[in-house]
Amino acid sequence: MSERGERTPGASVTLLDVAKAAGVSLATASRALNGSTRRVRPDLQERVLAAAEALHYSANAQAQAMARGRTNIVGLVLSDVADPYFSSIAAGAIRAAEEEHLVVTMACTFGREERELDYLAALRGQRARAVIIVGSRVQNRELLDRLAAEVRAFEQAGGRIAFVSQRKIPADTVVVENRGGARALAEALCGLGHRRFAVLAGRADLLTARDRTAGFREGVTRAGGRIDPGDVVYGGFTRDGGYEAMNELLDRGTEATCVFAVNDVMAVGAMAALRHRGVALPSEMAVAGFDDIATLRDVTPALTTVRLPLEELGTAAVEMVLAEPADQPRVRRVRGEVVLRESTPPLQAPRA
Amino acid sequence: MSERGERTPGASVTLLDVAKAAGVSLATASRALNGSTRRVRPDLQERVLAAAEALHYSANAQAQAMARGRTNIVGLVLSDVADPYFSSIAAGAIRAAEEEHLVVTMACTFGREERELDYLAALRGQRARAVIIVGSRVQNRELLDRLAAEVRAFEQAGGRIAFVSQRKIPADTVVVENRGGARALAEALCGLGHRRFAVLAGRADLLTARDRTAGFREGVTRAGGRIDPGDVVYGGFTRDGGYEAMNELLDRGTEATCVFAVNDVMAVGAMAALRHRGVALPSEMAVAGFDDIATLRDVTPALTTVRLPLEELGTAAVEMVLAEPADQPRVRRVRGEVVLRESTPPLQAPRA
DNA sequence: CATGCGGGGGAATGCGCATTCCTGCAGGGC
DNA sequence: GCCCTGCAGGAATGCGCATTCCCCCGCATG
Ranges assigned E (strand) in B98-158: 103-108, 130-134
pLDDT at B36: 81
Neighbours of B339 (CB within 10 A): 17
Q: What distance, in Å, lies between the first and last C-alpha atoms of chain B?
A: 89
CA of B44 vs C1' of C4, distance in Å?
Answer: 60
Mean pLDDT, rounded, for A260-289: 97
pLDDT at A340: 98
Mean pLDDT, rounded, for A215-220: 98
Percent of chain A with pLDDT over 70: 96
Checking if the pLDDT of B5 tops 80, the result is no
Confidence band for A4, pLDDT divided at 50, 70 and 90: very low
pLDDT at A7: 41
Mean pLDDT, rounded, for A155-163: 93
Confidence band for B10, pLDDT divided at 50, 70 and 90: low
Confidence band for B351, pLDDT divided at 50, 70 and 90: very low
pLDDT at B347: 87
- Tell me how far apart the alpha carbons of residues A18 and B245 are, in angstroms, rounded to a whole number: 52
The number of C-beta contacts closer than 8 angstroms across A and B is 169
- pLDDT tens digits along B184-240: 999 999 999 999 999 999 999 999 999 999 999 999 999 999 999 999 999 999 999
- Tell me how far apart the alpha carbons of residues A309 and A89 are, in angstroms, rounded to a whole number: 9
The 3-class SS string of B242-292 reads HHHHHHHHHHHCCCCCEEEECCHHHHHHHHHHHHHCCCCCCCCCEEECCEC
Confidence band for A3, pLDDT divided at 50, 70 and 90: very low
- pLDDT tens digits along B322-347: 999 889 999 999 999 999 999 999 98
DSSP state, residue B24: S
Measured between beta carbons, the chain A residues lying within 8 angstroms of B124 are 12, 58
Measured between beta carbons, the chain B residues lying within 8 angstroms of A81 are 81, 87, 90-91, 94
- pLDDT tens digits along A69-97: 999 999 999 999 999 999 999 999 999 99
Provide Rg for chain A, Cα atoms.
Answer: 27
pLDDT at B76: 98
Checking if the pLDDT of B7 tops 90, the result is no
**Mutation for testing the B interface, residue in A295, A296, A303 having most B CBs under 10 Å:** A295
Contact A57/A112 with Cβ under 8 angstroms?
no
- Tell me how far apart the alpha carbons of residues B3 and B14 are, in angstroms, rounded to a whole number: 17
Write A145-152 long-range contacts (CB < 8 A, 24+). A146/A117, A147/A116, A147/A117, A147/A120, A150/A117, A150/A120, A150/A121, A150/A124, A151/A120
- pLDDT tens digits along B261-315: 999 999 999 999 999 999 999 999 999 999 999 999 999 999 999 999 999 999 9
Checking if the pLDDT of A9 tops 60, the result is no
**Mutation for testing the A interface, residue in B293, B298, B311 having most A CBs under 10 Å:** B298
Checking if the pLDDT of A157 tops 80, the result is yes
Measured between beta carbons, the chain B residues lying within 8 angstroms of A90 are 81-82, 106
Pairing mode, strands B305-307 and B337-339:
antiparallel
Smallest CA–C1' distance to D18, residue: A67
pLDDT at A351: 45
pLDDT at B349: 59
pLDDT at B178: 98
What are residue A164's DSSP bridge partners?
A134, A174
The chain-wide mean pLDDT, for chain A, equals: 93
Checking if the pLDDT of A316 tops 90, the result is yes
Confidence band for B55, pLDDT divided at 50, 70 and 90: very high
Does the nearest atom of strand C lie within 7 Å of A69's Cβ? yes
pTM (two decimals): 0.93
Contact A178/B31 with Cβ under 8 angstroms?
no
The chain-wide mean pLDDT, for chain B, equals: 93
pLDDT at B9: 52
Residue B265's closest chain A neighbor by CA?
A: A295
- Tell me how far apart the alpha carbons of residues A272 and A266 are, in angstroms, rounded to a whole number: 10
DSSP state, residue A170: S
